[in-house]
Structure 1
């Protein structure tokens, strides 16, 4: 499993994570799924963290934002590939809460933000046992052909 993302879109995730620090940020990413093995991310879209109360340890995406994301994917002939969020001053590894609320098929990109700066970015996908397997992330410029 591999997630290919352009430098520009990866930077959007990092900038969002740094801007929302010390709170968790969240957003969606879209692109093309190549038969489940390679996912090419073409567009990143940030959304507001809808979590009430302390946002430094949790994020929540409003159901209306999910509906808008699904519509955007359909309208632009893209796959809604997954969700990204940040872990302020924590590793880019999914928490137990992340696992419990994760949906099959989606990729989950986590940006670790240490002292306000994006430090590590990793991607995860649920397996059939509802455990996370890590996906390889590679920066790639997508062809224009």
Structure 2
């Protein structure tokens, strides 16, 4: 399961709207915690990343290795881990593609995809990357639990 606070959930969806008609991308920082039905990737922060794809930015994304290392160091400094990644699918379903699985390498991480149709975020889904190696990795549908903070009076 992926657990995310509402403001972070909304921020990654808005990121997709802002970069439309190109794909946005970013990193989910948090902790992997035990849950009743298995591990839970709990998001504490999202970090926007630049999409370095210049050839197909409308249907592909890439986070530069140097930027990813910088984000990983930032996470470590906060006592957090990389628990997932997010990107948008402009005018395409919020389902993983053959390219998404081929380019996913962080086993145990959540991969969040938002369908952005005509500039408006619609469906957001998450997929957990399972397996023990590149040879047997696969995506499994993952529930998203959105936490809504109570107003403090």
**Both structures adopt the same fold (TM-score exceeding 0.5):** yes
> Which segment drifts farther, 121-130 or 87-96?
121-130
2:127 to 103, 113, 124: 124
State the partner residue of 2:20.
21
> Which segment drifts farther, 127-136 or 56-65?
127-136
Instruction: Report the CA distance between 1:54 and its aligned residue.
Output: 2.5
> What secondary structure sits across from 1:13 in the alignment?
helix
Q: CA RMSD in A?
A: 1.5
Q: Mind listing any 5+ residue stretches in structure 2 that lack a counterpart? A: none
1:100 to 99, 102, 110: 102
State the partner residue of 1:111.
114
> Which aligned pairs between 1:1-145 and structure 2 lie closer than 5 A?
2-35=1-34, 37-103=39-105, 104-128=107-131, 129-141=136-148
* Separation (CA, whole Å) in 1 of partners of 2:119 and 2:81: 31
Q: Which has the larger radius of gyration?
A: 2
Deviations 1:2-54 (CA, angstroms, capped at 9, x unpaired):
11111100111011000000000000011111046112111111011001222
Distance 1:34 1:142, change over 3 A: farther
> What secondary structure sits across from 1:52 in the alignment?
coil
Q: Mind listing any 5+ residue stretches in structure 1 that lack a counterpart? A: none
> What secondary structure sits across from 1:58 in the alignment?
coil
TM-score in terms of structure 1 length: 0.92
Q: How many residues align?
A: 142
